[in-house]
């Protein structure tokens, strides 16, 4: 039930009671997360999404985590691109060699594993 200011005090009373009850088991990070969720609910109830962007502790941590995650993803993608570029380059070199052999009519043994003769095992 909302109070005269629009805050759902029943929700916060119940939630804070649980937070206080369980606080002896929280790590600092867990307490931060729990209280941040409550702050986000209060901001939403007050239609103050601006609050979350102006509070340095919560918003900046989220932005920092997002930037770190984005840069990690970008570096992993770049690493994959480099790997596949190397594979493509190697494949292109192999194709050029096969093309050269084809031009010289010397495809003998080009497609067979070592130890095989004329495709026979």
Tens of pLDDT, residue by residue over 19-39, are 899 889 988 888 888 888 888
11: closest CA among 40, 47, 49? Answer: 40
The count of C-alpha atoms lying within 13 angstroms of the C-alpha of 88, restricted to the half-sphere facing its C-beta, is: 6
Distance CA 12, CA 38 (A): 8
Phi/psi of residue 8, nearest 5 degrees: -75, 85
The string of DSSP codes covering 9-41 is: HHHHHHHHHHHHHHGGG--HHHHHHHHHHHHHH
Tens of pLDDT, residue by residue over 52-84, are 555 556 666 777 777 777 777 777 778 888 888
- Mean of per-residue pLDDT scores for the chain: 75
Q: Evaluate if pTM is beyond 0.85.
A: no
- Give residue 121's pLDDT band: very low, low, confident or very high (50, 70, 90): very low
Mean predicted confidence (pLDDT) in 6-29: 87
């Amino acid at each position: 039930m909302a109070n005269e200011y629009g805050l759902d005090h029943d929700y916060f009373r119940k939630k804070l009671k649980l937070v206080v009850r369980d606080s002896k088991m929280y790590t600092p990070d867990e307490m931060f997360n729990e209280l941040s969720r409550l702050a986000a609910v209060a901001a939403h109830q007050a239609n103050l999404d601006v609050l979350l962007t102006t509070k340095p502790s919560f918003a900046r941590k989220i932005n920092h985590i997002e930037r770190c995650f984005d840069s990690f993803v970008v570096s992993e993608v770049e690493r994959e691109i480099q790997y596949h570029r190397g594979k493509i380059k190697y494949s292109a070199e192999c194709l050029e060699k096969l093309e050269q052999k084809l031009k010289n009519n010397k495809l003998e043994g080009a497609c067979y594993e070592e130890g095989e003769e004329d495709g026979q095992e």
